[in-house]
Every structure is written in structure tokens, then in C-alpha cells.
Amino acid sequence: MVPAKPLASAKRMENLRRNWYKFSRNRMSILGLFTVLLVTFLAVFAPLVAPHPEHASAFVDFANASRPPSLEYPFGTDVIGRDILSRIFFGFRFSLGMGVIVLSLVVPPGVVLGLVAGYNQGTWLDTVIMRITDIFLAVPSLVLALAICSVLTPNLFNAMLAVSLMWWPWYARLVYGLASTLRNEFFVASAETIGASKFHILFREILPNCISPIFTKMSLDMGWVIIIGSALSFVGLGVQPPRPGLGTMVSDGSRYLPEQWWISIFPSLAIVLVVLGFNLLGDGLRDMFAAEEA
Amino acid sequence: MSFITFLVRRAIHSIFVVLGLSIVIFIISRIMPGDPARMAVGARAPEWVVDNLREQMHLTEPLHIQYYYWLRDALRGDFGISLVTRRPVADDIKEFFPATMELALLAGLINGAGGIILGTISAWHKDKWVDNVVRVISYLGVVTPSFIFAILFLLLFGMTLEWMPTMGRLSPSLPRPSIITGLITVDSLLAGDFAAFFDALWHLILPAVALGLGGMAQEARITRSTMSDNLTKDYIAAERSLGIPESVIMRSFLLKPSLIPTVSILGLDFAATLGNAFLVELIFNWPGISRYGINAMLRKDLNAISAVILILGVVFIVVNIMVDIIVARLDPRIQLRAGGSE
């Protein structure tokens, strides 16, 4: 008898190798992956790699205030003398942290609701769930997130809560579409015939077939959540000073335009860099999964 | 389903969505800690005044009765008094709403027209340098938040080059044309005041471009991919083999079917435009409903917040019904569905 396990894992390795080949053929996807890894590294090791880690919080050095970019301060300093570059590294922490936490809060409920509604298409469950998503999708997410933040105490936790409340309907929508077609497939019908439980059908038959679009959307959504998070911080409803939120830094700096342009421009570019990385990565994943199906 | 039935069902569906939205807004406005009656009269008012007001605002009733009163007043256009401006919220909205519409409509125009033109050029010259330039630009457009565009434009065109005004809707030296639609560009044209028209347009361009650029990039990418897919279809090859000139194929056979996904996304993008207007209006000091809304949010002015969200929701729903109608007109095969875009 051939032991089954090594065979399965060899096959998995082979799949992985093929997927990596498909993914890595596109240089843009590699660039995206590299950007995401770099930003993650800078965020995680910010206290070690930042030139002035003590500038991340409330720190004052009026002797070096408002310095333009130089060798010592590559991105310049802000009006109270803090190194912009170091603050950007720490700012990545809030952006990535927010993205990860929001997605881990919204993906499970969104996916489950989408599965349930899609599998029970045409029943009252479908109607109730999908009409509720319609309501949430009827208002610009940023507006409702702003409103929720504004009635709560403005801080990072509540900002994440507000964005999460706004975000699950997108996953419900996505999975609903997939599940409502998959429910008519033969493998679902055969599982039903042999009396498999609803739970088994939803999570072991339908869900595995929805994974690739969900992953792709998550990678792209990291970018969007970071944008919304920085927008909330920009208005003053997200990361609170003296903590270095990227959006907070942009809005603080915008008061000193145009003379001290570096205070807001470098954090702006940092936001664009992170979002660009996640988008390139997401597009690479999508192309990879598409090539898999072809 | 006939077109009329479609419209009626779509309208009924929208009414339910708006009702649901009103419940969400009502809940948001009630989870806020603090006593709305006390906030309305201020900290120094005597207790009996607050009690009277509480009675008057139906705050002593159970929650669902409160909702009933709130909705009844909202339907009459009565959103109460704004705590910030001390005026009826409805008057504030009437004053600020047209400015936002003017901005969002121009942004939508830039978004749609620009995206379709760029996408078409890109698809037509697929994999040539023009295509590559357009693709890089649209990628950067998609990943850059509009408030960052706004700041970059403000710095570059407004402050450094000083080509464009950086705040407001009209230069203070010009008299504002009498209000007909509330859109200064339209009003000034109706009044035949070209100086005001160009001045207002000049004020409008930077914020509108900042607001429209992200959507434009998105539309360009979608148009490019649909169109280059359609270009490989058999019917195009058949037309080419019949010797039909490329320009005719383009105009008569390729453009229309390729625009369907673009137009559908335009409707959804309008939500993003209305949302982003919150930051762009703040940056360009644009006296619109979004800047008003943000100030209301920062000061916890509940009546104003509720009204702003409800109105933006209604605008978004109406725009999406219009988009569905356009899509149905573009694509004769389409099955009209009452449920919207699922």
C-alpha cells in the first residue's frame, strides 16, 4: 500500500510550484509582493529600522523643526522637529494593523451570510439578508463610517469598528453570487442526495470553490481599507495625535502648504505606495487563479 | 418584464431601501451618549425647560414611537434645528446641496467621459506605447485616494504655479448670479454672465478633477478590458472581412456593447464620489453639503448628520436607477430586474 499522505503533500507542493510560476511570470505581481513584504517588514521592525524611533510619539526638538529633506532627515522634519521618515514607518503599523483587523472582522460574517443567502436563494432568508446588504451599500461607505465614528469617541478602535460595519456586505454580495450558481452544480446535488448536512454542503462543498475570489478581494480590499482608514484619520476621526497615522500626518502637514510641502507630501506618497503594493498583489493573484481555471 | 413594470418595481424596492437606511440612521443617532434635549438648549438651561423640550421631542416615548415621529418629520422635510448653524437643517441643506451637486456632476462627467475616451484609445492601440502610458496612469489613478490628489493639486496648481484658485466657488469680486438652479455655472449661463461662468468653472476644475480622477482611471481600465475582449470576437472579424472601415466598426459595432460594464460601474462609483467629496470639499473649502456634514460630524450635530446621510443615500439610489435605465437601453438583451444589480 502506498501511504496516502506524502502523495497528497507532494501534489500540493506541485500545485504551489505551478501557481508560483504563473504568479511570478508577471513582473508587476512580483513588484506588488515585494512592496507588501517591504512595508510589512518596516512596520513590524519599525523600532529597529527607523532612524529616530523616539520621534514616533510625542517628542519635541524645536532646534530641528521644519527641516527640509536632508541626509540626516531624508523626508524632512515636522513643525516640532520629528523625523517624517521614522513616523511613516510607525504609520505603516496603524495602516496595516487596521487592514488586517478590519478584514478579519468582516470576512467571516460576510462570507457566512453570503453562503447562506446564496444556497437558500429565493427563500425568505435570501430576501432578508440581501435586502440588508442593499441598505448598507446604498450609502457611500466612507460617509456612514464617518457618521458612526463621529457619534462614538474618535479613536482607532472605533474607526475600525465603523469600517467593519460598512464592509461585510461586499463579501456577502461576492459570495452570494458564487454560491447561488454553485448550488446547482452536480457535486452539491450529489452531496444532498446522500444526505449530507447543510453545514457540510455550505462549508465543505461550496466554500472551497469560493476561496480564490475571496483571497483576491481581500488583497485588493487591504488597499481600500487603508485608504478609508487614512481618510478617517485625515478628518481627525481615526488615529489620534501624537500617534503617527499616515492620514493624520497628511492633514497636519496640509496646514503648512506650500512652504513646508514635505510634511504632508511624503506621508501621502507612503499611502499611495502601500495601496499600490496591495493592488498589484491582488491583480497578480487574480491572474494566477484565472490561469488556474483556464 | 415591460419597462414600466421594471420602473415601478425598482421604485418600490428603492423605497424599502430608503426606509431601511432611515432605521440605520435613526439607530446611529440614538446610540450616541448624551441627552439631545439638553444638548439643544445648552448646559445652563433650567431643568424644567429641558423636561418640556424632552416631551416636545418625544424623547419620553418608547423607541419605535420616537422613530415614527422622526420619520414623519423627515418626510415633511423637517430635520429639526442644526446645533451648529442654529437654523433649520432643511434650510442649510437647500443652501449647501447645489454646490456639492455641481462638483459631483462635473466629477462624474470627467470620470465617465475621460474613462471611456482613455479606455478606447488604450484598447485600440493595445500593447503599443500609448496603451502602456494609459495603463500606468490609470493604475496610479486607481490607487491614489482622492484627498491625496486634492492635496497634490492644491500644492502644485493652486499654490506653486498659482494657476487656479484654491478655495470657494466664485471670486469675491464677482456678484453671485441670482439663484435659479443653485449651480453657479448654470445660473451664470442662464443670466448670460460669462465672466461669472468662467470664474465659477475655474474654481470648479481642481476639486472636480481631484474627485473624478480615481473613477476615471477605474472606467478606463474596465473600458479597455471589455473593448479588447470584444475586438477578438468573431463578429468584428466578420465585419473586417466584409471590408467595413475600422472607424465605422468602432462607432457602430464596438463602442455600444463595450460600454455596458463601464456604465454599470459608473453608478457604483458615484457613491465613492459622494463619499470622497467629504474630504475634497474640506481641502478646497468648498461650501457644499459634505463640508457641512463633516463639520456636523465633528461637532456631533445629530439632526444635520441624519439629514446629510439620508439625502446622499437618496441621491445615490436615484443615480443608480438612472444608470440601470441607461444600461437597459444600451443592451437590448438585458433582463430587467427589479432587485437592482445583483
Q: Round to whole Å and give the CA distance between A88 and A100.
A: 18
DSSP codes joined into one string, A203-269: IIIIGGGGHHHHHHHHHHHHHHHHHHHHHHHHHTSSSPTTS--HHHHHHHHHTTTTTTTHHHHHHHH
Cell of B270: 458615484
Whether B143 and A258 lie within 8 Å, measured CB to CB: no
CA–CA min distance B289, chain A (Å): 12
Torsion of Cα atoms, B288 then B294 then B299 then B303, to 10° = 70
| Inter-residue contact A261 to A23 (CB < 8 Å) | no
Reduced 3-state DSSP string for B59-119: CCCCHHHHHHHHHHHHHCCCCCECCCCCCEHHHHHHHHHHHHHHHHHHHHHHHHHHHHHHH
Q: What ipTM describes this predicted complex?
A: 0.82
Q: For residues B24-48, b (16+ Cβ closer than 10 Å) or e, as one string?
A: bbbebbeeeeeebbeebeeeeeeee
Measured in whole angstroms, the distance separating CA B202 from the mean position of its chain's CA atoms is: 20
Classify residue A21 by burial, with Cβ atoms within 10 Å: 0-12, 13-18, 19+: exposed
Whether B317 and A144 lie within 8 Å, measured CB to CB: no
Q: Round to whole Å and give the CA distance between B88 and A54.
A: 49
Q: Round to whole Å and give the CA distance between B110 and A112.
A: 38
CA angle A112, A116, A120 (to 5 degrees): 170
Nearest Cα to Cα of residue A290 among A11, A17, A19, A28: A19
Q: Which residues of A touch B279 (CB under 8 A)?
A: 231, 234-235
Q: Round to whole Å and give the CA distance between A65 and A76.
A: 9
Instruction: Tell me the pLDDT of chain B (342 aa) as tens digits.
Output: 677 887 888 888 888 888 888 888 888 877 766 666 777 677 777 888 888 877 777 777 788 888 888 888 888 888 888 877 888 999 999 889 999 999 999 999 999 999 999 999 998 888 889 888 988 888 899 899 999 999 999 888 888 888 888 778 888 777 777 777 878 888 888 887 888 888 888 889 999 999 999 889 989 989 998 888 888 888 888 888 888 888 888 888 888 888 888 888 888 788 788 888 988 998 988 999 988 988 888 877 888 888 998 888 888 888 888 887 887 777 766 555 544 443
Collect contacts of A26-31 with beta carbons under 8 A, ≥24 apart: A26/A284, A26/A287, A28/A280, A28/A283, A28/A284, A29/A280, A29/A281, A29/A283, A29/A284, A29/A285, A29/A287, A29/A288, A30/A284, A31/A280
A residues 185-224 closer than 8 Å to B (CB): 223
Regarding pTM above 0.95, the answer is: no
Q: How many residue pairs bridge chain A and chain B with CB atoms within 8 Å of each other?
A: 134
Neighbours of B279 (CB within 10 A): 29
Q: Which residues of A touch B274 (CB under 8 A)?
A: 140, 143
CA–CA min distance B49, chain A (Å): 25
Whether A135 and B20 lie within 8 Å, measured CB to CB: yes
Dump pLDDT digits (tens) for A148-185. Answer: 887 787 788 888 988 898 889 999 989 998 898 888 88
